[in-house]
Amino acid sequence: MKRIFIAALVLYSAGFLFAQQNEIGAPNAERIGVDAAQQQLKEISVDKFEHDGYWLSSMSTDEGYTRTRLFSGSPQNKVPLEEEEGLNIPDQYVLGTKVDFLRRGHSSFTIFPMRPIPIEGITKTISLWVAGRNYNHELKILLQDYFGRPFELYVGKLNFQGWKKLTVAVPPQAADGINGIVQRNYHYNNQLGLKITGFRIDCDPMETYGSYYVYFDDLRAVTDLFAENNRDADDMADAW
């Protein structure tokens, strides 16, 4: 019995140390959808929200109206990607959206790019920094899978002060390659990935009055690039 207790204590300690090395409470990309013997995980930048007019917003006109624009600023605790250090990549703006509610009740609004943003490889997690102004509204990420089918992933409530990095795991596709969020067609190794089509915020009906402000920055993904980096250079492209 004593040996069992010691073994359990060792496993617990190892798990605690592992958690300390990752963002506490965030999904572990290394353990999501492991269906191959090898992975090449890499955190990449999807959008830094630096292009004015690229992101738009909308909501039902009988519930309210929105305005979206860029603001100078950045989360203080944001850590740049190692490969981008010293490259002087522009990163001085955040994306802000203001909502003016016309009535109280169940409502939602969307924030979307002018065109879907593709992510290379097999996406494991998606993260972004959000300042939600401590409201009980809920944030969801909108996606298109390999077949162009729409999906949404629940990210979390915006009931916190200041900036916070939110991360959501992308569920692995079903073994049949048809159901779920499909990111890869096993027949064609040069066609994989998903696209981000925007965000939706579902508003708490008790807080749908006056004006609401929300800000976003540094949209990233952890993606598996093994298939991308090990594709046969002499393979033909089925695009004719």
Q: What is the pLDDT of residue 188?
A: 67
Question: Locate tokens 């089509």: which residue?
Answer: 197
Q: How many CA atoms lie within 13 A of 226 on its CB side?
A: 12
State pTM to two decimals.
0.83
pLDDT at 27: 79
Q: What is the pLDDT of residue 174?
A: 86
85 pLDDT tier (thresholds 50, 70, 90): confident
Cβ 208 vs Cβ 105: under 8 Å: yes
At 204 the pLDDT is 98
- Smallest CA-to-CA distance from 107 within 214, 212, 209, 208 is with 208
Are 225 and 119 in contact by the 8 Å Cβ rule? The answer is no
Asked if 57 contacts 112 with a C-beta cutoff of 8 angstroms, the reply is yes
Q: Is residue 116 scored above 90 in pLDDT?
A: yes
Q: pLDDT tier at 200 (50, 70, 90 boundaries)?
A: very high
Average pLDDT, the chain: 86
Average pLDDT estimate for 109-131: 97
